[in-house]
Structure 1
Amino acid sequence: MRFQTLRFAFAVFLIGAPILPSSAQVANPELEACRSTGLIALRERNPSIKDVSFDVDGMTVAKANTKVENTLVKTIVIGDAYLERGKQDTRRTFLCLIGEKGKVLLTFFTDK
């Protein structure tokens, strides 16, 4: 009987304990949507671009409730992005606008 009570208490502890995944495992869906959409747009203009990475620590992800004409903008992402071209990375400022249902409305990379 005592063993069952202990086992029940342990199970309640496990169920009630918060599960905190490591930050490396958690991908911000807004950042990933902006990264993947931006990469597609960049590759259309310059196929030599292999990948895009963000300076996540310096990235700003801001909730918004605004419109561009009749289109709702729900999230604005801005920060530094690194374009990988072979062995060379180029730093660019990056802007991304996200609308309803997580739809990427605009990705913009500065030229330099």
Structure 2
Amino acid sequence: MNGRLLLTALATIVVCPCIGPALAQTPNPELEACRTTGLLALRERNSAIKDITLDVDGMTVAKANTKVEDTPIKTIIIGDAYLEKGKKDTRRTFLCLIGEKGKVLLTFFTDK
């Protein structure tokens, strides 16, 4: 009986690290909306930008109950984003404001 318990415990230890990264890769709809909207806005100014990768582990996603003038802000996201330009990536600080019903109000990337 102790052998089965030990094997179960070891299997749990071995399986858990595999599950963690898979869950971390599940896209947050708010992050994906910000990434997509930001990519479209950046491509309008610079067609060399191929993609954006968000540093999900370092992102801060904060629920908010505030307004900018009369516009409600429900979520604020800030962290690092990597802009893919050809063969090199450029790290930028990323800010996204989300309003009611998940609408992206603003995506902002620092210049450098």
Provide the residue aligned with 1:4 in structure 2: none
- 1:69 to 2:69 alignment: yes
What's 2:6 paired with?
Answer: none
RMSD over aligned Cα atoms: 1.5
Matched AA of 2:75? T
Structure 2 spans left out of the alignment, 5+ residues: 1-18
Q: Which runs of 5+ in 1 are unaligned?
A: 1-19
Question: Which residue in the other structure is 1:81 paired with?
Answer: 81
Moved >3 Å (runs of 4+): none
DSSP 3-state at the match of 1:50: strand
Note closer, same or farther for the CA distance 1:72–1:51 as it changes in structure 2 (3 Å cut).
same
Instruction: Tell me the alpha carbon deviations over residues 80-110 of structure 1, each in whole angstroms, 9 at most, x when there is no partner.
Output: 0000001010000000000000000000000
1:74 Cα deviation (Å)? 0.1
Greater share of residues in helix: 2
TM-score (norm 2): 0.79
- 1:12 — aligned with what? none
Q: Which residue of 2 aligns with 1:90?
A: 90
* Residues 1:23 and 2:23 aligned together: yes
CA distance in 2, matches of 1:63, 1:102: 12
Residue matched to 1:55: 55
Count of matched residue positions in the alignment of Structure 1 and Structure 2 = 93
